[in-house]
Structure 1
Amino acid sequence: MQERLEKLHAYMESRKLDALIMTHPKNVYYFTGFLTEPHERFMALVLVKGESPFLFVPLLDGEKAREACPAIMIYTHDDSQDALTVFQQLLPTPLTHIGVEKNHLTAKTYESLVSIVHATEAVDVGELLSNIRVSKDASEIATIKRAIWVMEESLRRTLPLISVGMTELDVVAELEYQMKKLKAQGPSFSTIVLAGEKSALPHGDPGEHAIQAGEVLLIDAGVYVDGYVSDLTRTFAVGQIGSELLDMYDTVLQANLAGIQAVRPGAPIAEVDRTARAVIGDRGYGEFFINRVGHGIGLELHEAPYVHSQAAGELIPGMVFTIEPGIYNTKIGGIRIEDNVLVTKDGVEVLTSFPKEMQIIG
């Protein structure tokens, strides 16, 4: 944690900032070890030039914060107080030049913060924090691997329970039960289970549709383990499926493998998307590939790097992201195969191990 904080102090020095006020809960966790969701209540990690950092949290989270980060001073506010009024009393003023997370703050809170410290300049530090977090260290990678194992084992335990006639929501319930049995903190997003034509909706909502023989079943799910996420998609055949769906599946699988092969340190991020997209385009399904090929995962389900055909920058060791090409034909169904990969100093490590060959269930 100290090494991470030192990077912030160096940035503050380079930009001549008087203070850095961090409000995104996941960034607070990354730099302190304290993880919570304050909901509508105000929370901030504050670095003031020449002073020790402090954490300002709702009173409800005060004791948990002290246990998580005993080396950092903790201040609290309760629900009867105006949080920013209490916060103002903890700050030396004026703080002419400050750093804030503009993407996370509401317009009202941003204006209030600038006003109470009498700032003449407020620098957005969101990109800085994203760049610091983008390369995962060994501890983070180990935690992500545990999250992946829990997700894959949950799916392994659920598949034998799926049968024709079950609804999509039935499968969601079974899968999320297994997640909890395996000690996940919870799903990392709303579990997606879609059958038949609905599988062509990349972000469709599971419902009362009963699974039928001859259609595909797409399962996209992930879990939180110690604050870090996994994100896995596999598509299954329910009994025997038609030749077009089989061809779509093989195309997506080849695109997935090609995308993985394009991963290496120094390669353009955009090349991963373009490589996978070319496979699908060459097989005649280009119009049905409507999503970017991947996104970073870590403390958040979607974080840098964002892997699309116009992405700027190069891959660097420690990046962890998804590779998830798909074909979505609303007339017959959709296919998506998603892996989680790590950029290593020599190339790529595929962190997910769940089989990708077509599996028949039900």
Structure 2
Amino acid sequence: MTMLADTRYSNRRRAVAAAFAGDRLDALVVDHGVHVRYLTGFTGSNGGVLLRKDLSATVATDGRYTTQIAEQVPDLQAITASACAPTLAATVEGPCRLGYEADFTSVSQRNALEEAVGEDVTLVPVTGLVEKVRLIKDEGELDELRAVAALATQALSELIEAGELAVGRTEIAIAADLEYRMRKLGAASTSFDTIVASGVNSSKPHHSASDKVIESGDLVTIDYGALLRGYNSDCTRTFIVGEPTDFAREIYDVVYRAQQAGVERAVAGTACKDVDAACREVIREAGYEQYFVHSTGHGIGLDVHEAPAAAAKSTGELAAGMTLTIEPGVYIPGKGGVRIEDTLIIRDGAAENITTYPKELTVIS
């Protein structure tokens, strides 16, 4: 089992090394936690890795994690240090062009790197390099995403079957019940603060669960996710509690058809912006275009929001092995809203939908 894990991480390091060598870099220092985990398997809160173009690498962490890093990263030499990136950078011999991740490096951290390296080491800011490699998930990652999506689906199913989404209960109580069920099933935590938005609150795309009481006829949007072994899930379903109004049925039907259109369009080779356009066209034809106020979707993995993005101004195309959420919505202030979201694994043919909770209109009586 260790051999398989080592091969997976070494393959990722090889891909990143090839990418930075193409940018005429000799080495890259990484201390962004998600990227350290992606490249080494180390899960401690303080770590770093130095990658060299000859494919060798060194990791670092502080004294709290020396045993853990030895267990999780047995194939790499480890250095004990509190300031991981500067300590690793100091080991680089010049002349050398040393890259660092500019998006995750503050001015003071950049200054610490400058002080650590020799005069013949040139620091080069790098943006988006590891993220580009992460776009295509390996099979191990896809299995993790399937597992966490299945856990989250089971939690929501149990919540509904137990009658915990009901008239008279508060949004925050329902959110707490759902989060408890995810933790009980093995989730390390939620991926983000659970959204339970009922009645007029459902017109707010990112409403925070409140003490509002669910009333008969309310649209109730639940947007939730679990975190399991570092990987995230993301799913949204909208329910109607009690007797549905004509308004609720109408906008649900519009969003349902828009979401289906996006799912069908999300195949390898499709421009990301065309997925957004497919959803938006259905909503525009129904006369609700002004109430679709966000982009259609995003990638998911070690981060809950990562590339690619499906938006009107997105660039690039989908490729097999990418992930993408499809989550159109209609939000009418003072009345209510609907959002439906699935997480897809992009394939050459039809995408694999890993969020399997039913999305046809569900009325909770």
**TM-score, normalised on structure 1?**
0.93
CA distance in 1, matches of 2:75, 2:180: 37
Deviation at 1:77, TM superposition (A): 2.5
Q: Does 1:14 align with 2:22?
A: yes
Q: Is the 8 A contact 1:18 1:95 kept in 2?
A: no
Residues 194-241 of structure 1 show CA distances to partners (whole Å, capped at 9, x for unaligned) of: 111111111111111111111111100001111111100000001012
Query: Matched residues in 1 for 2:183 and 2:212: separation?
Result: 25
More displaced 10-residue stretch of structure 1: 13-22 or 196-205: 13-22
Rounded to whole Å, the distance in 2 between the matches of 1:170 and 1:180 is 15
Distance 1:55 1:211, change over 3 A: same
Please give the per-residue CA displacement for 1:72-108, whole angstroms capped at 9, x wherever unaligned. 1111225xxx66665565x134464111111111121
Structure 1 residues 154 and 51: alpha-carbon distance in aligned structure 2, compared to 1, 3 A threshold: closer
Task: Report the equivalent of 2:10.
Answer: 2
- Closer/same/farther in 2, CA of residues 62 and 241 from structure 1, 3 Å limit: same
Distance 2:86 2:73 in 1: 24
Matches within 5 A, 1:147-296: 147-159=148-160, 160-296=163-299
Aligned pairs for 1:88-107 (under 5 A) are 89=90, 91-94=91-94, 96-107=96-107
Which secondary structure does the structure 1 equivalent of 2:298 belong to?
A: strand
Q: Who is 2:305 aligned against?
A: 302
1 CA distance for matches of 2:53 and 2:362? Answer: 58
What's the TM-score, normalizing by structure 2? 0.92
How far off its partner does 1:114 sit?
A: 3.1
Q: Tell me, what secondary structure is at the counterpart of 1:120?
A: strand
Asked if the contact 1:327/1:336 (under 8 Å) is kept, the reply is yes
Among 51, 67, 70, the alignment partner of 1:66 is 70
SS class of match (2:34): helix
The CA distance in 2 between the partners of 1:230 and 1:167, in whole Å, is 24
| Percent identical residues | 32
On the 8 A contact 1:19/1:95 being kept in 2, the answer is no
Deviation readout 1:16-42 (Å, 9 max, x if unpaired): 32320012111111111112333xxxx
Give every structure 1 segment of 4 or more consecutive aligned residues whose post-TM-superposition deviation is greater than 2 Å. Answer: 8-16, 48-52, 82-89, 92-96, 118-121
Segments of structure 2 that go 5 or more residues without pairing to the other structure are 1-8
Residue identity opposite 2:57 in structure 1: P
User: What SS does structure 2 have at the residue aligned with 1:30?
Assistant: helix
Separation in 1 of the partners of 2:165 and 2:19?
Answer: 53
Deviates more, 1:147-156 or 1:113-122: 113-122
Can you give the 5+ residue segments of structure 1 that lack an aligned partner in the other structure? none
Aligned residues: 353
Q: Work out the CA distance in 1 between the residues paired with 2:256 and 2:336.
A: 16
| RMSD over aligned Cα atoms | 1.7
Question: Could you tell me which amino acid in structure 2 is paired with residue 242 of structure 1?
Answer: T
- Of the three residues 344, 348, 351, the one matched with 1:348 is 351
Question: Residue 218 of structure 1 contacts residue 236 of structure 1 at CA under 8 Å; is this kept in 2?
Answer: yes
Cα displacement (A) at 1:55: 1.0
Partner of 1:36: 44
